[in-house]
Amino acid sequence: MKLFLQALAKFVLGAALVGIFVFLPAGTLSFFNGWLLMGILFVPMFAAGLVMLVKNPDLLRKRLDAKEKQREQNAVVKLSGLMFLGGFVVAGLDFRFGWYPLPRAVVCVAAAVFFIAYLLYAEVLRENAYLSRTIEVQQGQTVVDTGLYGVVRHPMYAATLLLFLSMPLVLGSLYAFVVFLAYPFIISQRIKHEEAFLERELDGYREYKQKVRYRLIPFLW
């Protein structure tokens, strides 16, 4: 019950913050794209949280712990937060003043990509029981090198890349998309620091890097 209430509190807070950052700049609640994003973002998130609560509460507990212990990663988290804040505000203002509304077809395709990325994210959670939101090596942790981890070394970040770059397009804002283009650069820095840490602390990770060449995008990086 304590874990459920903790997860519910973070869920409600997250939904409230996204709603404020999107609808307040838009100046109205009659912002269809805003509600579309809220729906495809938080309904699956709530369902996934319930599944983890029942099937794997330890994983849910680790996903709720977002306090980074490394200074470099704290900076990455803060930059990501600024990106979200700026992107959502710009999307709301874009709708409010009609700067450059994207066609409905682009919004629909972006929503489909977002949903596919969510499924990939769920598969990563299923494959790797050691996943947490902070960079750490847990007791008994081993290298996972099968499934999506046999394609790229950081499939979770690959899924978030699709998720976050599709968000501003779901909101119908090209200008917000430009803001979210900061994410690949932000996540690349996190990956470099994370891999250096894992090479030092996790047995077999150096060999895993030789086996799976690509970090984030197959055949590219």
List the CATH number of the domain containing 149.
1.20.120.1630
Q: Provide the percentage of residues in the chain whose pLDDT is more than 90.
A: 44
Q: Tell me the pLDDT tens digit for each residue of 95-148.
A: 999 999 899 999 999 999 999 998 998 888 888 776 665 556 666 678 888 888
Asked if the structure places residue 221 within a domain, the reply is: no
Which pTM was predicted? Answer: 0.86
Asked if the structure places residue 117 within a domain, the reply is: yes
Half-sphere exposure of 196 (CA within 13 A, CB side): 9
Q: Amino acid letter at 1?
A: M
Range of the domain at 124: 2-211
Asked if the structure places residue 119 within a domain, the reply is: yes
Asked if the structure places residue 65 within a domain, the reply is: yes
Asked if the structure places residue 135 within a domain, the reply is: yes
Asked if the structure places residue 219 within a domain, the reply is: no
The pLDDT of residue 67: 61
Asked if the structure places residue 216 within a domain, the reply is: no
Residue 128 CA to residue 130 CA, distance in Å, equals 5
Identify the weakest region by mean pLDDT among 3-7, 33-37, 83-87, 97-101. 3-7
Q: Amino acid letter at 25?
A: P
Asked if the structure places residue 218 within a domain, the reply is: no
The number of domains in the chain is 1
Alpha helices (H) in the chain, listed in sequence order: 2-26, 32-55, 57-64, 71-97, 104-127, 155-170, 174-180, 182-201, 205-211
SS3 101: strand
